[in-house]
Amino acid sequence: MKIIQTIEELQEIRKSISSSVGFVPTMGALHDGHISLIKQARSENDIVIVSIFVNPTQFLKGEDLDKYPKKIEADSKICELCKVNYLFLPQISTMYGEDEVLVKAPNIKSYTLEGERRPGHFDGVLQVVLKLFGLTKPNRAYFGKKDAQQLALIKQMVENLFLGIDIIECEIKRESDGLALSSRNVYLTAEQRSDALAISKSLHAAAAIIGKKEFDCHVIKEHMQTIMSQLDVEYIAFVNRQFEEIQTIELKNSIILVAVKVGNTRLIDNIWI
């Protein structure tokens, strides 16, 4: 595995590659969820590029940019063990200049749910992902379904800008007790982590209710709220794959999304129906 830190080196290497490229963009602190993305990219491409970059433009004032987990040595070892070909580790000054051409997320999709609570967040996400796509020029790029709204916006960007990249949707990875894997889970105390299990329990309960032919989103939401009654729930949302709000579950076209604060840690999770 080769570690790359400059744009010039990455561009030269990319010019020399004629076979298929799979790309996995990350912010580091790699866990089994990231590893599953990398392994899928490894199985489907000749060359795998992983980037680690904690992108400042997607963090709002007061969020955890400065304390976001950084484990470069451990992350590098994980990438090496997963047989990554190239690991891109840029600095902020490498990725951003003083006079930026800005990317704006579409108003409707990016200012609901996560975007409503984190205004401008998705502008920063799309900005950095577009830059990374331009540098790595992948055939396929891999993203987890846990960040469902982000995934939908990236797919729309690729389509709208005619980028010709296959966006591969990868399943959510969970701990054995059901907690969705997240780099922010390290912030949880043992008690908070136990409390957070109500999130996945509520989603599994929703799936069970739907399996019994209850498709009314209001009824499903009430069940979920009961399960998460001890948590600080920011939202429980029901949308179709286009992120339009729905009142009735549409099988094979619905997503139930949850955002919760556990202590000072904000967690998101979802289930695709």
pLDDT in tens, 3-19: 999 999 999 999 999 99
* CATH class of the domain whose range is 183-272: alpha beta
Q: Is the pLDDT of residue 110 over 80?
A: no
Same fold, 2-170 and 183-272: no
pLDDT in tens, 179-199: 999 988 989 999 999 999 999
Number of residues that this document lists for the chain: 273
Question: Is 18 labelled as part of a ligand binding site?
Answer: no
Question: Is 181 labelled as part of a ligand binding site?
Answer: yes
Confidence class of residue 249 from pLDDT cuts 50, 70 and 90?
Answer: very high
Domain ranges of the chain: 2-170, 183-272
Structure-derived torsion over alpha carbons of residues 180, 181, 184, 187, reported in degrees to the nearest 10: 80
Question: Is 113 labelled as part of a ligand binding site?
Answer: no
Catalytic residue from among 34, 204, 218, 223? 34
* Residue 223 is a catalytic residue: no
Task: Match 């949880």 to its residue by tokens.
Answer: 188
User: By 3-state DSSP, what share of the chain in percent is helix, strand and coil, each rounded to 5?
Assistant: 40, 20, 35
pTM: 0.94
Q: What is the pLDDT of residue 69?
A: 84
Confidence class of residue 130 from pLDDT cuts 50, 70 and 90?
Answer: very high
Q: What is the pLDDT of residue 108?
A: 65
pLDDT in tens, 54-106: 999 999 887 888 888 889 999 999 999 999 999 999 999 999 988 888 888 88
* CATH class of the domain whose range is 2-170: alpha beta
Q: Is the pLDDT of residue 113 over 80?
A: yes
Question: Is 145 labelled as part of a ligand binding site?
Answer: yes
Q: What is the pLDDT of residue 103?
A: 87
- Classify residue 112 as exposed, middle or buried by CB count within 10 Å of its CB (0-12, 13-18, 19+): middle
